Amino acid sequence: QVQLVESGGGSVQAGGSLRLSCAASGRTFSTNVMGWFRQAPGKEREFVSTIAGSGATTYYSSSVKGRFAISRDIAKNTVYLQMNDLKPEDTAVYYCAAALSAVITTTPNRYPYWGQGTQVTVSS
C-alpha cells in the first residue's frame, strides 16, 4: 500500500521558515515527479512546486518562487519543501503528491497519490 506522510508543519510568524518533509512508502518514486500543493480555507487546492525524478528540474508557482525550495533524497524516498520568508497568505494545509509519470506537471489530477496534509499557519 502506497503511503505519503507529510511532517514539519506548524505555526510561525511572518518572515519565519519551515521545512516540510514527505516520506513515501509502499513503492519507490525515484523516477516519478513529486509535487507540493496547498489548500487554504474556502479556496481550491493550488500548485506550489514540483520536482523531476532526477531532482535536476524543479518548478514553482509565481507566489512562492524565490522563497521556497523543493528537493528530494532518492535513497530515503523523501521529498522536502524548504519555506523561507513565510507570509500570512502562505497559511494553508500543504499536501505532498506523487505522479505516475516522469514529466513535470502542475495539474493535481496527474498525481494519483496524496498525503494527508500538514497545516502551516503564518501569523502577521
- Beta strands per DSSP E along the chain: 3-7, 10-13, 18-25, 34-39, 46-51, 58-60, 68-73, 78-83, 92-98, 113-114, 118-123
Q: Is the pLDDT of residue 100 over 90?
A: no
Scored b (16 or more CB within 10 A) or e, 93-106 reads: bbbbbbbeeeebeb
Q: Which of 67, 69, 117, 109 is nearest to 89 (CA)?
A: 67
How far CA 73 is from CA of 54, 55, 76, 108, in Å, comes to 10, 9, 5, 22
* pLDDT for the residue 106: 94
Model confidence over 106-117: pLDDT tens digits? 999 999 999 999
Per-residue pLDDT tens digits for 9-33 = 999 999 999 999 999 988 888 888 9
